[in-house]
């Protein structure tokens, strides 16, 4: 079997969309090459006095439409190809929802659950110092991603500000409210996933109410999506995270799950309730449900999983959860995939609102944030839907077409330097 390479996955979809759009190779090949790739070593003094060195990355994929934008991931499997792919997906994502950003991404190869708070802060500060020449509110603006959160953004903001000599809140988004974070930002990705699910169900003349949903991943995105869909009347029939996966044919009481999760250190392991059964992780993806929300990592819905899957709709909360080999199987089976660069764009949309608020030194109320998010999600969904209908292609290809049109046009108008 060919080894999975997320960057090659991205290139594949790029070519398919370019072909449908009739774009010449020479007009879009700039999207094949990230503008900048930085690799840094991060020595930190551990609590036991020894020094350990970690590897970190920041990739700026494309700044044609504005400053680079994208999260920072802490995970033991982070490598350059993954960060490159994630950065490229950010360029495409920001273009799909038409916010004035390019794409970037960062990551550190570390399992943060093995670090103390002191070590985590040290790692974050030293990594920030390493990528300092690249970042800034007008250049490249990090945000949370897998295993990073508002506290980590606060440390990045503080470290950057110490080097500058004054406070620069706009250097990162996803900050705590006290430091210029935005209301609605922590829930934004999950809320966007809920909107995307609602819109695709509408196209199928269905409603959220009563729809049976399985959610893989119970971090910021999965938990919020499950909670908001539950509030809208969905039956959440399967949930899972690294620690355990569960199935409940009648649907989970998500409020009870969340109480357990809060008290259990942010893990699902050990959850018990009438009708709830523990299942294998790989059973979750193929369980009996109508909508599947992968909200964990890349490369989850492979060809084999796609063949076995029962859901008829996939809404990608994670980045890159479906391989292009699986996409072909799903298309053949008539499964609709709302692609990552559209479905999970709510996070970066509200990051954009946060950055705008920081630049103007003002604060929107939560209603305004959520209303504007909903407007952008619906508008983008419709654009992608129309493009896919016209092109007689999948929503993923449609989303890439919308994004590439904007990116290629911006490149054409700017021209090639020098």
Residue 252-281 contact track with ligand GLU, rule CB under 6 A, x = bound: ------------------------------
Record the tokens describing residue 353, joined without a space. 């609102």
> Which part of the chain contacts ligand GLU (CB under 6 A), choosing from 39-47, 66-74, 225-233, 394-402?
66-74
CB of 94 to ligand GLU, least distance (A): 9
CB of 401 to ligand GLU, least distance (A): 20
Q: Does 13 bind ligand GLU (CB under 6 A)?
A: no
Out of 220, 319, 370, 380, which residue is the one contacting ligand GLU (CB under 6 A)? Answer: 319
- Closest to 161 (Cα-Cα) out of 151, 171, 153: 171
- Closest to 188 (Cα-Cα) out of 180, 200, 196: 196
Torsion angle of C-alpha atoms 345, 349, 354, 358, degrees rounded to 10:
130
- Closest to 141 (Cα-Cα) out of 102, 188, 191: 102
CB of 220 to ligand GLU, least distance (A): 9
Out of 145, 158, 298, 327, which residue is the one contacting ligand GLU (CB under 6 A)? Answer: 145
Alpha-carbon span 381 to 385, nearest angstrom: 6
> Which part of the chain contacts ligand GLU (CB under 6 A), choosing from 44-52, 56-64, 211-219, 344-352?
344-352
> Which part of the chain contacts ligand GLU (CB under 6 A), choosing from 253-261, 345-353, 393-401, 404-412?
345-353
Helix runs in 232-365, H state only: 254-263, 281-285, 303-308, 324-333, 340-343, 346-360
> Which part of the chain contacts ligand GLU (CB under 6 A), choosing from 17-25, 40-48, 69-77, 210-218?
69-77
Alpha-carbon span 107 to 104, nearest angstrom: 11
Out of 322, 351, 370, 394, which residue is the one contacting ligand GLU (CB under 6 A)? Answer: 351
Out of 66, 103, 320, 347, which residue is the one contacting ligand GLU (CB under 6 A)? Answer: 347
| 3-state secondary structure (DSSP) of residue 277 | strand
Which residue's CB atom is positioned nearest to ligand GLU? Answer: 71
- Note whether 301 and 4 are within 8 A (CB): no
CB of 48 to ligand GLU, least distance (A): 32
Q: Does 69 bind ligand GLU (CB under 6 A)?
A: yes
Task: Tell me whether residue 67 or residue 398 sits nearer to ligand GLU (CB atom).
Answer: 67
CB of 312 to ligand GLU, least distance (A): 25
Record the tokens describing residue 266, joined without a space. 């942010």
Q: Does 358 bind ligand GLU (CB under 6 A)?
A: no
Q: Does 173 bind ligand GLU (CB under 6 A)?
A: yes
Looking up tokens 């709302």 gives 338
When computed from its CA atoms, the radius of gyration of the chain, rounded to whole angstroms, is 20
Q: Does 135 bind ligand GLU (CB under 6 A)?
A: no
Q: Is 105 a catalytic residue?
A: yes
CB of 143 to ligand GLU, least distance (A): 3
| Neighbouring residues of 191: CB distance < 8 A, sequence distance ≥ 6 | 184, 224, 228, 346, 370, 373
69, 84, 93, 105: the active-site residue: 105
Number of H helices, E strands in the chain: 15, 13
First to last CA, the chain: 43
Catalytic residues: 105
Q: Which residues here bind ligand GLU, judged by CB under 6 A?
A: 69-71, 143, 145, 173, 319, 344, 347-348, 351
């Amino acid at each position: 079997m060919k080894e999975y390479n997320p960057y090659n996955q991205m290139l594949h979809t790029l070519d398919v969309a370019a072909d449908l759009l009739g774009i010449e190779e020479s007009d879009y090949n700039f999207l094949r090459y990230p503008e900048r790739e930085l690799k840094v070593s991060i020595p930190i003094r551990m609590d036991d006095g020894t020094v350990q060195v970690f590897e970190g990355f920041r990739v700026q994929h494309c700044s044609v439409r504005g400053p680079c934008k994208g999260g920072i991931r802490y995970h033991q499997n982070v490598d350059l190809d993954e960060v490159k792919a994630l950065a490229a997906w950010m360029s495409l994502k920001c273009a799909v929802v038409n916010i004035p950003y390019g794409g970037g991404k960062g990551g550190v190869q570390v399992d943060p659950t093995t670090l103390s708070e002191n070590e985590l802060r040290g790692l974050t500060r030293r990594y920030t110092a390493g990528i300092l020449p690249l970042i800034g509110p007008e250049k490249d603006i990090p945000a949370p991603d897998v295993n990073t959160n508002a506290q980590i953004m606060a440390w990045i903001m503080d470290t950057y500000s110490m080097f500058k000599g004054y406070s620069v809140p706009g250097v990162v988004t996803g900050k705590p409210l006290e430091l210029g974070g935005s209301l609605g930002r922590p829930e934004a990705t999950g809320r966007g996933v809920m909107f995307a699910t609602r819109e695709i169900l509408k196209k199928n003349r269905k409603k959220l109410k009563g729809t049976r949903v399985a959610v893989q991943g119970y971090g910021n995105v999965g938990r919020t999506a499950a909670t908001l869909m539950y509030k809208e009347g969905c039956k959440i029939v399967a949930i899972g995270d690294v620690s355990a996966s569960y199935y409940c044919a009648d649907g989970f009481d998500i409020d009870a799950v969340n109480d357990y999760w809060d008290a259990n250190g942010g893990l699902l392991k050990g959850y018990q309730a009438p009708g709830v059964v523990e299942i294998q992780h790989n059973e979750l993806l193929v369980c009996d449900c109508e909508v599947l929300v992968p909200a964990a990592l890349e490369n989850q819905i492979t060809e084999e999983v796609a063949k076995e899957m029962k859901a008829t709709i996939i809404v990608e909360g994670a980045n890159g959860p479906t391989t292009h080999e699986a996409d072909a199987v799903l298309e053949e089976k008539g499964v609709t995939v709302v692609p990552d660069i559209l479905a999970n764009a709510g996070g970066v949309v509200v990051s954009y609102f946060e950055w705008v608020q920081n630049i103007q030194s003002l604060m929107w109320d939560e209603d305004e944030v959520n209303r504007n998010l909903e407007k952008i999600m619906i508008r983008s969904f419709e654009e992608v839907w129309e493009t896919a209908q016209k092109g007689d292609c999948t929503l993923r290809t449609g989303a890439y077409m919308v994004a590439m049109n904007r990116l290629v046009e911006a490149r054409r108008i700017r021209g090639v330097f020098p």
